[in-house]
Amino acid sequence: MKVPLLDLRAQLATIEDEMVEAVVNVVRSTRYIQGPEVEGLEQEIAEYSGVARGVGVSSGTDALLVSLMSLGIGQGDYVLTTPYSFFATMGVILRVGAKPVFADIDLESYNIDPEKMAEVLAADVDHKIKAIIPVHLYGQCADMKAINKLAEQYNIPVVEDAAQAIGAEYPLVHADGSVEVKKAGALGTCGCFSFFPSKNLGGIGDGGMVVTTDEKFADHLALMRNHGMNPKYYHPSVGGNFRLDPIQATALRVKLPHLNSWHDGRRENADSYAEMFARTSLLDEAKVVLPKRVYQEFEGEIAGRFHIYNQFILRVEKRDELRDFLLAEGVGCEVYYPVPLHKQECLGAYSHGLSYPEAEKAADTTIALPIYAELTAPMQQYVVDKIAEFYSKDC
């Protein structure tokens, strides 16, 4: 059997005619820059995420970049973030001329640890940290209540890297004990989405969006994604061309109504994996550690999609050997991310002496399994059987 890590064809089959028609309509409209499809998607994503505004941009990376540019982050500034994420999270910090400062992750959630952030912020006596970028890694929100509390204390904006978490919910517990369900992107100063094809909401090419409840900031973002231009050919600020393509916007509008059911498919598959692994001895022997639903205690009480499983991540023994074995047996899998950000070569001497043991552990021991909604039970059983086979031969 062959089980791919992701099968976009299986998803496309359910919406292909509508998708082709939508794209052809844009071709025939000759509206190729901005226009009604982009505006329509901006409104729909804003509504879906529970925020006032959406600003369509050219990628998730550019969503982060234009956010930092719009906040005026640059030379001499530091930005606090996680050492365990896709490179873009750190790349944008360096590209605006600022420097990343890291706080280690919590290994159970893979997200930045607010206690470690508090230590880093307390040590920043010159107040050089001018922004925080938490990442909602793999589809589960970081501990945003604690992060926002720190951000308020130090008066620093929070740019959510929600590239992997569009639609992921977060249980915000208020002082009176009531729980408000919020969505990724609606928790910080602004939230950044990616429509890279492998994200839960993927386009037919690159795309992204910044969402925010702050109308004035949204206006500034909209200016900055179009060369900082207003009115035409007058430039109060230096922005760039970070516009979203209407062909991407129309394709995403076809997909958005299905997004929650695709999330649910992934969540059901995660439950199935948990049951299948529980029938092996792999969990008891600690060969395999399943992904943790950090906000599980709130499920049922308030039905929340607190994890949308952009990736289904195991921590395993002998990770690299397992990966090679699975690939040889036709099971798609991937290592996200083998090198933590603080160890990336491009940092040069800046990285010397930096050590974040939890992020390093995650980088050394995690592996992603297929989790897309159209995955079947026999395919999942095959994946689990192959993993069990690997460890039975092994010892």
Ligand X SMILES: *Cc1c(COP(=O)(O)O)cnc(C)c1O
Q: How far is the CB of 11 from ligand X (least distance, A)?
A: 18
Give the residue from 191, 179, 198 showing the smallest Cα distance to 306. 179
In the complex with ligand X, the residue whose CB is nearer, 344 or 380, is 344
Q: How far is the CB of 308 from ligand X (least distance, A)?
A: 13
Token reading at 180: 């408000």
In the complex with ligand X, the residue whose CB is nearer, 109 or 380, is 109
Q: How far apart are CA 357 and CA 365, in angstroms?
A: 12
> Where on the chain is the footprint of ligand X (CB under 6 A)?
59-61, 85-86, 88-89, 135, 161, 163-164, 194, 196, 206, 208
Is 199 noted as a catalytic residue in this protein?
A: yes
H or E element: which one contains 171? Answer: strand 169-173
Q: How far is the CB of 138 from ligand X (least distance, A)?
A: 9
**C-alpha dihedral, 325 to 330 to 331 to 333, nearest 10°:** 70
Q: How far is the CB of 151 from ligand X (least distance, A)?
A: 19
In the complex with ligand X, the residue whose CB is nearer, 269 or 311, is 311
- The Cα-based distances of 1 to 268, 327, 328, 383, 386 in angstroms read 21, 12, 11, 10, 11
Q: How far apart are CA 203 and CA 195, in angstroms?
A: 5
- 216-219: long-range pairs with CB below 8 Å, 24+: 217/70, 217/189, 217/190, 218/52, 218/53, 218/55
CA 262 from centre of chain: 16
In the complex with ligand X, the residue whose CB is nearer, 318 or 343, is 343
Q: Are 195 and 248 in contact (CB under 8 A)?
A: yes
Q: Select which of 183, 199, 287, 386 is catalytic.
A: 199
In the complex with ligand X, the residue whose CB is nearer, 200 or 380, is 200
Measured at the CA of 122, the angle between CA 364 and CA 360, to 5 degrees, comes to 5
Q: How far is the CB of 87 from ligand X (least distance, A)?
A: 8
Residues involved in catalysis: 199
